[in-house]
Amino acid sequence: MNIFARLKDGLSKTRSQITSIMGGDGRFDDVFFDSLEEAMIAADIGIELATDIIDELKQDLKDCRVTSISEAYELFKAMIVKGLTVTSLPEEFPPKPWVIMVVGVNGVGKTTTIGKLAQELRAKGKTVMLGAADTFRAGAIEQLRIWSERTESDFVAQQEGADAASVAFDAIEAARARETDILILDTAGRLHTKVNLMNELEKILRVIKRNTPHAPNEILLVVDATTGQNAIKQVQVFNESVGLTGLVITKLDGTAKGGVALALTKKFNIPIRKIGVGEGIEDLQDFDPEAYVDAMFGNLG
């Protein structure tokens, strides 16, 4: 099963709900709009945003003089694509090292995502270093070491329990000395309710900025799509703490409903960089809003 097919399969429940409503009797009445709103809420888009979308859709249908369900559906999908489209990352990485700091709570697939990112960058001919600044979770350093070997990336670590900011400092120094293109820093799986752990994350950020003024160039938050609206709280807290530049949404091949992606981009205006649709090393893909909406909503008929 290819990437798009897995994404489409993972979002099948949402797609069937939406298409059943759009495939109704063709009347744009209260029943139609109420049913569409309920389906969006069920898809993890959220009550407030779903209401806003319905209001905008009603106005657009009127302004564009839309009379057919098929036209309404394409208009609806175009609205969602627009909402998911946020400025993307430039393809070139001028400063060396380009520093990517990866954050997220435990269990979202953060370290695995780092390994997949490294694999992708190595395939593009970039030199990559992985920095094991997750000194908190047992086994995290060894897990990242395995990914470094698998992707033929350089690796910097200290012992378990070491100061995470110190690891970040050492990694940047090593990356600069070796003229490494990209340094990816793993950080401890922050429980976003734990103030002391968030403070440690902010310390890492301060050390990076003091050592390398242009860095970090990217601060990615990895979120699990199956957590639904809980992802919004995670983005809010991490963004307030360190200022996120991008999101990676994982586990879209399972029980995810998919709407949380739109909820996140609309609320925070932070671009989705990547989506994960499986456990394989090739299963982390660039986020394409149009392909995502096609997988999520499909076509009528």
Residue 145: predicted pLDDT = 97
Judge contact between 263 and 225, C-beta under 8 A: no
For residues 55 and 60, give the distance between their C-alpha atoms in angstroms, rounded to a whole number: 9
The whole-model pTM stands at 0.89
Bridge partner list, 218: 100
Rounded Cα gap, residues 134 and 51, in angstroms: 40
Helix (H, G, I), strand (E, B), or coil: what is residue 300?
coil
C-alpha 189/C-alpha 224 separation (Å) is 13
* Residue with the two structure tokens 């302004």: 63
Of all residues in the chain, what percent are helix, strand and coil, respectively (each to 5)? 50, 15, 35
Per-residue pLDDT tens digits of the chain, which is 301 residues long = 566 677 777 778 778 888 777 766 667 888 889 988 988 888 888 899 999 999 999 999 999 988 888 888 889 999 999 999 987 666 666 778 999 999 999 888 899 999 999 999 999 999 999 999 999 888 999 999 999 999 999 999 999 889 999 999 999 999 999 999 999 999 987 665 666 778 889 999 999 999 888 899 999 999 998 888 889 999 998 999 899 999 999 988 766 678 889 999 999 999 999 998 877 777 888 899 998 888 888 765 5
In degrees to the nearest 10, what's the CA dihedral of 191, 193, 197, 203?
120
Q: Name the DSSP class of 282.
A: T
Token pair, residue 62, equals 């009127």
If we measure between CA atoms, which residue out of 204, 215, 284, 206 comes closest to residue 245? 215
User: Rounded to 10 degrees, what is the CA torsion of 279, 297, 246, 270?
Assistant: -160
